[in-house]
């Protein structure tokens, strides 16, 4: 975790001094939504990896992606290497709209089943500490997550890191909420409510404020109905922005045209284009 903390500090420092670099890259990434609603998520992985390679001189990044010949130890999309210490940092990239955010798929539903064994209302601090320290929560505890968050209507974006350690420290109660139920944060009780298809365990602080939740929807659940989730609006105080707050982005229609041409041109043309693009990146580096 310390290695990822060091990387975050360096990334945040870079974006504070050279805001135009991250604005340019994120604008290009979110422009990909014009091509397809899910296209930007995959291209964000290679885009951020190359951003690190081009602009963060003490770090190198490799895209893991969907490589079938490489066994993943975690849910990582990229691996960041500290060039000074040679430490490898696996990072999971997420590209989500401003709202619910899945931090881990919890494919083996370990977290939910573990919580079921602790009861429906868990408010003993020692028990809660034991939950976070358990093997069931080991995956999320060791996962470095880098979410790219956007508001398409306002055309603003942010790189928001969930503070898992603060979550651990501040969780005061974990509450089971069954389907067709919801938590009334004012009355601090579970009440009937429409819309919930599957049960969750809700994590709240001493004031009853939302922190995160563990979902599990049984055998019929899809990836969006299970796992470890939070909410960028409801748990705002549990996020740290690597872009130093929300930044405006704009669509790059020229990039869309470039993709059209790229998919219909040869490798020789791509080689020549790469040389031109690298010169332009070098120009961006020189801007202060």
Cα–chain-centroid distance for residue 139? Answer: 15
Per-residue model confidence as pLDDT tens digits over 6-62: 999 999 999 999 999 999 999 999 999 999 887 888 899 999 999 999 999 999 999
Looking from the CA of 46 toward its CB, the CA atoms found within 13 Å total 9
End-to-end CA distance of the chain: 31
Determine the Cα angle at 254 with ends 252 and 259, to 5°: 105
Most confident region among 93-107, 214-228, 255-269 by mean pLDDT: 255-269
Q: Write down the pLDDT at residue 68.
A: 44
β-partners of residue 267 are none
Please compute the mean of the pLDDT values over residues 249-269 and round it to a whole number: 96
Q: Write down the pLDDT at residue 65.
A: 66
Between CA 255 and CA 21 the distance in angstroms is 16
Please compute the mean of the pLDDT values over residues 146-172 and round it to a whole number: 95
Q: What tokens appear for 34 in the block? A: 């014009």
Give the pTM: 0.89
pLDDT band at 74 (very low <50, low <70, confident <90, very high): low
């Amino acid at each position: 975790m310390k290695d990822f903390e060091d990387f975050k500090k360096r990334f945040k420092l870079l974006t504070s001094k050279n805001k135009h670099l991250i604005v340019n890259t994120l604008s290009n990434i979110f422009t990909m939504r014009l091509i397809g609603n899910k296209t930007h998520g995959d291209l964000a992985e290679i885009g951020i990896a190359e951003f690190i390679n081009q602009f963060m001189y003490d770090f190198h990044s490799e895209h893991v992606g969907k490589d079938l010949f490489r066994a993943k130890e975690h849910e990582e999309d990229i691996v960041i290497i500290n060039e000074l210490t040679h430490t490898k940092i696996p990072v999971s990239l997420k590209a989500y709209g401003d709202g619910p955010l899945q931090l881990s798929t919890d494919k083996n539903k370990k977290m939910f089943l573990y919580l079921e064994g602790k009861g429906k209302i868990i408010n003993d601090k020692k028990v809660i500490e034991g939950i976070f320290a358990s093997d069931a929560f080991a995956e999320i505890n060791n996962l470095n997550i880098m979410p790219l968050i956007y508001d398409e209507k306002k055309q603003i974006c942010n790189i928001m890191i969930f503070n898992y350690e603060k979550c651990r420290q501040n969780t005061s109660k974990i509450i089971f909420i069954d389907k067709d139920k919801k938590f009334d944060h004012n009355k601090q009780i579970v009440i009937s409510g429409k819309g919930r298809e599957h049960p969750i365990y809700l994590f709240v602080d001493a004031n009853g404020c939302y922190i995160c939740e563990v979902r599990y929807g049984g055998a019929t659940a899809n990836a969006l109905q299970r796992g470890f989730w939070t909410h960028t609006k409801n748990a705002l105080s549990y996020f740290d922005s690597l872009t130093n707050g929300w930044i405006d982005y704009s669509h790059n229609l020229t990039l869309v045209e470039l993709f059209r041409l790229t998919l219909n041109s040869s490798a020789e043309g791509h080689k020549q284009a790469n040389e031109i693009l690298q010169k332009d990146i070098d120009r961006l580096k020189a801007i202060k």
